[in-house]
A and B are shown apart, each in its own frame.
Chain A
Amino acid sequence: MRNLPRFVGKRSTDCLFAVILAATTMANAQDWVHTGTNLGAQKIRLAAADFKAVGTDPAVTTAQQTFNQVLYSDLSNAGIFDMVSKSLAPTGTPGSPAEINLAQWSAPPANAAMVAFGAINVQGGRDIVFGWLFDTKNTQSPQVLGQQYNEADTPDTPRHIAHEFADAIISRLGGGINGIAESKIFYVSDRSGKKEIWEMDYDGANQHQITHLGQIALSPRISPDGGRLAFNELSSKGSNIRIFSMSLNRLVTFPVHDGTDFSPAWSPDGNNLAFSSSRTGDPEIWMSSASGFNLRRITAFRGPDVSPVFNPKTGNQIAWISGRTGLPQVYIMDSDGTAIQRMTDGGYATSPSWSPNGQFLAYAWSRHYGPGAPGGQDIYVMDIASHRWIQLTHDIGRTDFPSWSPDGRHIVFQRTTHGHSEIWTMLADGSQQHALTKTGNGRMPNWSWK
């Protein structure tokens, strides 16, 4: 299960490699984009030794397997490490600093600059993990990290502790940016027969249904604190913004107005919602408090205005999509509706997502649009200050709804081929593309804020 997202079936694997190669080559050729997230920097060669199972509880074997898989997967997914593959790693499972031979790890074929290792024990209903990160070249004081975890044993605990240790390593070696191993992705799935909102871990694990409305649920947006989920419910009664409380596990009151409301967006302080509303006729961007009051209209121009997203760094700008000049384009404005600036210069551009550091917009774009036009709908990233852009997906079907990870190093998106949609993820340079869902249609992903 946990490995599933990393393999998309034998037949498509070759194709996927070709895509990754193409994407990587393209990204390298346009490496003027400096995301400020170490993605472009030389990657640290890191080894993750299998943790040693200690103690006598038979449950430790399963716990150890899960822990080792998840830790390796998290570190690989981080995008800032050149991971030593398990087949090149020295044999043996060093369970403590006394048991590790650093020279073995720094020597070929592993060539590790850093090595993570440790021990896992299940004792008295608790999972106990000791984890270390050592610098293989610093024989005098090699310890970079030493962590201890002691948590009640549940089926999810080994996985949870692996996420915590991985995030500690990523934070230490990745310039202090927190890891995303415990972040969540919200999305629309029709697995239950209806379009409902689902939630999964960042790596595709633990997929579960959140809403059970039996109508059409769209455009999930999780609040910055993770406590409330805003989305759009569409039925013959109308199209309205709904709020689901993650702690109460039910819908909470939000005023329903005449007219069609959709595509909600949270301000980074969690106090305001922007959304598209046709209550005065033409769909415009409106804003309200998080409880739906203090309504005010932000845009006023003929043509559809939709898909707002706040600048998460400052909260005082909004990017959105407008069809005021014909085909939809990406625009930005101050959150009071002034200082409107068009970002894309043509084609068909939709679904903006603003990077956590405020520097970039990811969006879906068909640059050459029209009958017989070359190219398709792909994910692009634009540097807001310079308007320069790079293309992240190439020839993998129609891609849409990019959403940045909280660390700004990853983008989750919707990939549609032959009328079938899946949720995929990639690094923000377009590399390491892989599927997260494989059942039903997965659409409109939204990555949690932390």
Chain B
Amino acid sequence: MRRFRKNSALAAASLAVFLIVTGCHHKQAAVPEPPPPPPESAPAPTATITASPESFNPGQGVVLTWHTTDATDVAIDGIGKVEPSGTKTVNPTATTTYHLTARGDGGSTDATATVTLNAAPPAPPAPQQLTEADFEQNVKPIFFDYDSYSIRPDAQATITQDASFLQAHPNAKILIAGYCDSRGSEEYNLALGQNRANAAKTALTQAGVDASRIRTISYGKEKQFCTEQNESCWQQNRRSQFTLDQ
């Protein structure tokens, strides 16, 4: 966005320059003058070219700005013939040297600008690139005691980590599902699972995650992560599970 605005400004500036230059030419043409003497020794052209930025990330555009004087024929390798002065956005895919040649009556001059491809992409991936697998790897479930929906100290630590990941991905919506172990009654466990989901939502909200991003549901004992009848299995099932809410 910022780059785009800069482009517009540059484009507007170059347009103004162009108008002034052509305007002068027009005026000169309109006023009859004695024919100029043929140039005996024309000055040599000057040329500069710069690239901004000088190093770029994949997919990022680069703006070339060049300026020449006393040139009649200006070309950039790989782009072709260009105006004597101007700007252009290019999309290189690798480190590239842009070579400008300005030819005039007084000879020719070269100028170059090199843009370098950054080796590593920037650290935080864009939010839309967050996958369910990424989400599950980073947002861990929390576990509960029997017939309880209180957040345990170990769950609070998990919540803190979960919340920091979620705050780094502010566009991700979150579905919290409450689960219960296979003991007890189906309908009561739906209510208990709902309270577990609600407790997890409250904890995330208190850790700074916006409540409007969170939806809750209870699966009670209708879906089980583990089906054996022992405490380690029951503990697996007493949880609030976080998933990316599409």
Please determine whether B188 and A306 come into contact, CB atoms closer than 8 angstroms: yes
Please determine whether B222 and A234 come into contact, CB atoms closer than 8 angstroms: yes
Residue A239 interfacial (CB < 8 Å) = yes
Please determine whether B191 and A305 come into contact, CB atoms closer than 8 angstroms: yes
Q: Which of B191, B198, B217 has the most CB of A within 10 A?
A: B191
Residue A216 interfacial (CB < 8 Å) = yes
Please determine whether A260 and B188 come into contact, CB atoms closer than 8 angstroms: no
Residue A40 interfacial (CB < 8 Å) = no
For the complex, give the distance between the alpha carbons of A58 and B187 in Å: 51
Please determine whether B175 and A323 come into contact, CB atoms closer than 8 angstroms: no
B:212-232 near A, CB below 8 Å: 215-219, 222, 227, 229
Residue A407 interfacial (CB < 8 Å) = no
**Out of A195, A216, A219, which one reaches B187, CB within 8 Å?**
A219
For the complex, give the distance between the alpha carbons of A22 and B190 in Å: 34
Please determine whether B190 and A239 come into contact, CB atoms closer than 8 angstroms: yes
Residue A106 interfacial (CB < 8 Å) = no
**Out of A278, A351, A364, which one reaches B194, CB within 8 Å?**
A278
Give per-residue flags for A294-319: 1 if the beta carbon is below 8 A from chain B beta carbons, else 0: 00000000011111000000000000
Please determine whether B217 and A323 come into contact, CB atoms closer than 8 angstroms: no
Please determine whether A263 and B190 come into contact, CB atoms closer than 8 angstroms: yes
Please determine whether B185 and A364 come into contact, CB atoms closer than 8 angstroms: yes
For the complex, give the distance between the alpha carbons of A283 and B217 in Å: 12
Residue B186 interfacial (CB < 8 Å) = yes
Residue A321 interfacial (CB < 8 Å) = yes
For the complex, give the distance between the alpha carbons of A232 and B188 in Å: 13
Residue B184 interfacial (CB < 8 Å) = yes
| Interchain nearest-CB distance for B197 vs A (Å) | 8
For the complex, give the distance between the alpha carbons of A401 and B175 in Å: 30
Please determine whether A276 and B186 come into contact, CB atoms closer than 8 angstroms: no
Give per-residue flags for A271-301: 1 if the beta carbon is below 8 A from chain B beta carbons, else 0: 0000010100111000000000000000000
| Interchain nearest-CB distance for B148 vs A (Å) | 9
Please determine whether B219 and A234 come into contact, CB atoms closer than 8 angstroms: yes
Q: Which residues of A contact B190 (CB under 8 A)?
A: 218, 232, 234, 239, 260, 262-263, 276, 306
Residue A20 interfacial (CB < 8 Å) = no
Number of interface residues of B (CB under 8 A): 22
Please determine whether B187 and A260 come into contact, CB atoms closer than 8 angstroms: no
Please determine whether A328 and B188 come into contact, CB atoms closer than 8 angstroms: yes
Q: Which residues of A contact B215 (CB under 8 A)?
A: 238
For the complex, give the distance between the alpha carbons of A262 and B221 in Å: 14
Q: Which residues of B contact A303 (CB under 8 A)?
A: 195
Give per-residue flags for B143-157: 1 if the beta carbon is below 8 A from chain A beta carbons, else 0: 000010000000000
Give per-residue flags for B200-243: 1 if the beta carbon is below 8 A from chain A beta carbons, else 0: 00000000000000011111001000010100000000000000
Q: Which of A232, A263, A278, A364 has the most CB of B within 10 A?
A: A278
Please determine whether B191 and A306 come into contact, CB atoms closer than 8 angstroms: yes
Q: Which of B185, B217, B229 has the most CB of A within 10 A?
A: B185
Residue A326 interfacial (CB < 8 Å) = yes
Q: Which residues of B contact A327 (CB under 8 A)?
A: 147
| Interchain nearest-CB distance for B193 vs A (Å) | 9
| Interchain nearest-CB distance for B133 vs A (Å) | 18
A:391-450 near B, CB below 8 Å: 400-401, 419, 443-444
**Out of A218, A305, A306, which one reaches B222, CB within 8 Å?**
A218
**Out of B147, B198, B216, which one reaches A326, CB within 8 Å?**
B147
Residue B47 interfacial (CB < 8 Å) = no
For the complex, give the distance between the alpha carbons of A351 and B184 in Å: 11
Give per-residue flags for B66-80: 1 if the beta carbon is below 8 A from chain A beta carbons, else 0: 000000000000000
For the complex, give the distance between the alpha carbons of A419 and B185 in Å: 13
Residue B192 interfacial (CB < 8 Å) = yes
Known contacts A195-B222, A326-B147; decide if A350 and B191 are in contact (CB<8 Å). no
Q: Which single residue of chain A is at the shortest CB-CB distance from B245?
A: A236
B:19-43 near A, CB below 8 Å: none
For the complex, give the distance between the alpha carbons of A375 and B68 in Å: 97
Residue A105 interfacial (CB < 8 Å) = no
For the complex, give the distance between the alpha carbons of A292 and B122 in Å: 52
Q: Which residues of B contact A401 (CB under 8 A)?
A: 185-186
Q: Which residues of B contact A400 (CB under 8 A)?
A: 185-186
Residue A348 interfacial (CB < 8 Å) = yes
| Interchain nearest-CB distance for B244 vs A (Å) | 12
For the complex, give the distance between the alpha carbons of A218 and B187 in Å: 9
Please determine whether B192 and A260 come into contact, CB atoms closer than 8 angstroms: no
Please determine whether A323 and B185 come into contact, CB atoms closer than 8 angstroms: no
Please determine whether B195 and A282 come into contact, CB atoms closer than 8 angstroms: yes
For the complex, give the distance between the alpha carbons of A239 and B147 in Å: 21
For the complex, give the distance between the alpha carbons of A260 and B229 in Å: 28
For the complex, give the distance between the alpha carbons of A307 and B190 in Å: 10
Q: Which residues of A contact B188 (CB under 8 A)?
A: 304, 306-307, 321, 323, 328, 350
Q: Which residues of A contact B195 (CB under 8 A)?
A: 282-283, 303-304
Known contacts A216-B222, A260-B194, A323-B192; decide if A307 and B187 are in contact (CB<8 Å). yes
Q: Which residues of B contact A351 (CB under 8 A)?
A: 185, 187
Please determine whether A283 and B191 come into contact, CB atoms closer than 8 angstroms: yes
B:153-189 near A, CB below 8 Å: 175, 182, 184-188
Q: Which of A195, A282, A443 has the most CB of B within 10 A?
A: A282
Please determine whether B198 and A281 come into contact, CB atoms closer than 8 angstroms: yes
Would you mind naming 6 contact pairs between A and B with Cβ atoms under 8 Å apart?
Answer: A218-B190, A263-B190, A305-B191, A323-B147, A327-B147, A328-B188
A residues apposed to B, CB below 8 Å: 195, 216, 218-219, 232, 234, 236, 238-239, 259-260, 262-263, 276, 278, 281-283, 303-307, 321, 323, 326-328, 348, 350-351, 364, 377, 400-401, 419, 443-444
7 closest pairs, A vs B, by CB? Answer: A304-B191, A350-B185, A306-B191, A283-B191, A263-B187, A278-B194, A307-B187
B residues apposed to A, CB below 8 Å: 147, 175, 182, 184-188, 190-192, 194-195, 198, 215-219, 222, 227, 229
